[in-house]
């Protein structure tokens, strides 16, 4: 294996959940030495739904167990941080102060340190003391209110979008700060939060309200900007169809030999199709019923129509395209079994990100890491016995 883009970076990842570890796995995939500091008993991800997140957020990392409720554990963390480029945690505001692991304390040990805090609502502001998980960020930002079917209550986006995207923001911010630290010799503190990230995703809707006083309404699988758009049934399985421009609507009609649609005054413009969406959907599904899903896509896709299968999770998990590109891979899990998990979705022509190993067992690297950092065997034994 050749050099990796971040193989000269050391990140101490003391975060739990999803957001912080997502930032850490970005660094790990790109070659950084990411030391995952876990409490006795392991991070929460090891216990959530049989550890299903671990292969996706703990791969390529080393696992060290330190009890930060003990003086010995805190001293060991201080030792690791003193020679690290970055440190990330996701404790609630004030908690790191009580552990003597706040930014000021760690910056005194390592002035070049980039210190990243991941919280639910930020370290200040009216909501800063609130507990938070991903769905709460979706709820408080308006994201959940704008998601779902119009005649039903709001719906949570099933994936942890605020968690994962906060992790991506945190990773990008840390990398920028590390670059600054190496140029100036000065580290800094970075704050990220699930609520801020979710709000960032909602920016265009906030602007809409600011400009017009209008709020987006829940649209289900469709879109109120153009039609047809949404899920459409075929003789077998459904497809998703999107036609943001007039010429794409014309291609749909041509692909299924229905030139009469283009002459129908109900469908002649996008505005008309939006006004007559129900009639349009009835027409489309009546025609699409003559095709099975794959047959219909074989007509639409060569014509340049934005259309796709509506896949189940089971279908997507075995998608040949994702496996061929390496986005999905079989990764060895903690128990030694091979499971499907995601790899780094970015492609590098010269320095590819690779899955070198799956998640390690809890504390598997404690002795090796502490030994590398100068701890004698007796001192390691004493530390482990105190936890």
Distance CA 52, CA 214 (A): 40
41, 101: one domain: yes
- 36 near 62, Cβ under 8 Å? yes
CATH of residue 94's domain is 3.40.50.10540
Query: 0.85 exceeded by the pTM?
Result: yes
CA atoms within 13 A on the CB side of 275: 8
pLDDT for 1 equals: 62
248, 108: one domain: no
CATH of residue 259's domain is 3.30.1540.10
Distance CA 114, CA 128 (A): 22
Distance CA 63, CA 254 (A): 58
Choose among 55, 195, 224, 215: nearest CA to 137: 195
17, 95: one domain: yes
Q: How far is CA 369 from CA 15, 61, 85, 373, in A?
A: 18, 12, 16, 6
What percentage of the chain's residues is helix, strand, coil (to nearest 5)?
40, 15, 45
Determine, yes or no, domain membership for 234: no
256, 146: one domain: no
pLDDT digits (tens, 9 = 90+) for 302-343: 999 999 999 999 999 999 999 999 999 999 999 999 999 999
289, 366: one domain: no
pLDDT for 217 equals: 87
49 DSSP 8-state letter: G
180, 323: one domain: yes
pLDDT for 304 equals: 97
Could you tell me where the beta strands, DSSP code E, fall in 28-82? 33-38, 62-65
Structural domain range at position 98: 10-201+319-385
Please tell me whether residue 129 adopts helix, strand or coil conformation.
coil
CA atoms within 13 A on the CB side of 381: 3
Q: Is the dihedral of CA 316, 357, 77, 38 positive or negative?
A: positive
173, 304: one domain: no
By DSSP bridging, strand 229-232 and strand 239-242 are antiparallel
pLDDT for 236 equals: 98
Q: Which residues of the chain have pLDDT under 70?
A: 1
Q: How far is CA 255 from CA 163, 174, 248, 264, 287, in A?
A: 41, 49, 10, 17, 11
The β-bridge partners of 38 are 65
Determine, yes or no, domain membership for 213: no
Distance CA 362, CA 64 (A): 7
- CA-atom Rg of the chain in angstroms: 25
- Looking at 254, 283, 309, the residue that finishes a domain is 309
Determine, yes or no, domain membership for 370: yes
63, 190: one domain: yes
Q: Give one DSSP letter per residue of 217-280, joined into a string.
A: PP-TTS-TTSSSEEEE--SSS-EEEE--SHHHHHHHHHHTT-THHHH-TTTSSHHHHHHTHHHH
Cα dihedral 66, 68, 71, 74, rounded to 10, equals: 80
The β-bridge partners of 342 are 328
Determine, yes or no, domain membership for 210: no
Q: How many domains does the chain have?
A: 2
- Looking at 285, 309, 333, the residue that finishes a domain is 309
pLDDT for 216 equals: 87
63, 117: one domain: yes
Determine, yes or no, domain membership for 214: no
24, 167: one domain: yes
pLDDT for 119 equals: 97
Work out the mean pLDDT of the chain and round it to a whole number.
96
pLDDT for 223 equals: 85
Determine, yes or no, domain membership for 54: yes
- 181 near 188, Cβ under 8 Å? yes
CA atoms within 13 A on the CB side of 132: 31
339 DSSP 8-state letter: E
88, 66: one domain: yes
pLDDT digits (tens, 9 = 90+) for 101-142: 999 999 999 999 999 999 999 999 999 999 999 999 999 999
pLDDT for 178 equals: 98
- 127 near 201, Cβ under 8 Å? no
301, 359: one domain: no
Helical (H) or strand (E) element with 179: helix 161-184
Helical (H) or strand (E) element with 313: helix 313-317
- Looking at 309, 341, 358, the residue that finishes a domain is 309
pLDDT digits (tens, 9 = 90+) for 202-212: 999 999 999 99
């Amino acid at each position: 294996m050749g050099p990796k883009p971040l193989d000269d970076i050391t990140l101490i990842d003391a975060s739990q959940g999803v957001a912080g570890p997502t930032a850490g796995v970005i660094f790990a995939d790109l070659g950084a030495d990411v030391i995952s500091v876990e409490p006795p008993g392991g991070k929460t991800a090891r216990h959530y739904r049989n550890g299903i997140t671990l292969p996706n957020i703990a791969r390529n990392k080393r696992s060290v167990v330190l009890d930060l409720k003990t003086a010995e554990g805190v001293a060991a963390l201080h030792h690791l941080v003193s020679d690290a480029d970055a440190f990330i945690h996701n404790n609630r505001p004030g908690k790191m102060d009580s552990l003597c692991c706040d930014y000021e304390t760690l910056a005194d040990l390592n002035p070049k340190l980039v210190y990243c805090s991941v919280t639910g609502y930020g370290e200040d502001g009216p909501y800063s003391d609130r507990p938070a998980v991903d769905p709460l960020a979706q709820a408080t930002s308006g994201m959940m209110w704008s998601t779902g079917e119009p005649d039903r209550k709001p719906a949570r986006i099933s994936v942890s979008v605020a968690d994962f995207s906060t992790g991506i923001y945190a990773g990008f911010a840390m990398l920028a700060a590390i670059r600054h630290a190496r140029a100036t010799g000065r580290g800094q503190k970075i704050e990220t939060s699930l609520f801020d990230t979710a709000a960032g995703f909602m920016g265009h809707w906030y602007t809409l309200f600011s400009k017009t006083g209008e709020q987006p309404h829940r649209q289900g699988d469709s879109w109120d900007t153009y039609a047809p758009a949404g899920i459409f049934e075929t003789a077998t399985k459904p497809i998703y169809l999107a036609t943001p421009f007039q010429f794409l609507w014309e291609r749909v009609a041509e692909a299924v030999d229905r030139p009469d649609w283009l002459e129908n005054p109900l469908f002649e413009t996008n505005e008309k199709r939006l006004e007559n969406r129900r009639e349009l959907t009835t027409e489309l599904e009546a025609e699409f019923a003559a095709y099975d899903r794959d047959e219909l896509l074989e007509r639409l896709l060569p014509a340049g129509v934005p259309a796709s299968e509506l896949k189940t999770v089971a279908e997507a998990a075995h998608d040949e395209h994702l496996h061929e590109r390496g986005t999905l891979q079989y990764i060895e899990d903690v128990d030694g079994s091979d499971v499907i998990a995601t790899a780094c979705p970015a492609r590098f022509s010269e320095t590819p990100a690779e899955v070198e190993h799956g998640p390690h067992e809890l504390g598997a690297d404690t002795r090796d890491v502490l030994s590398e950092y100068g701890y004698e065997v007796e001192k390691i034994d004493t530390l482990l016995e105190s936890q």
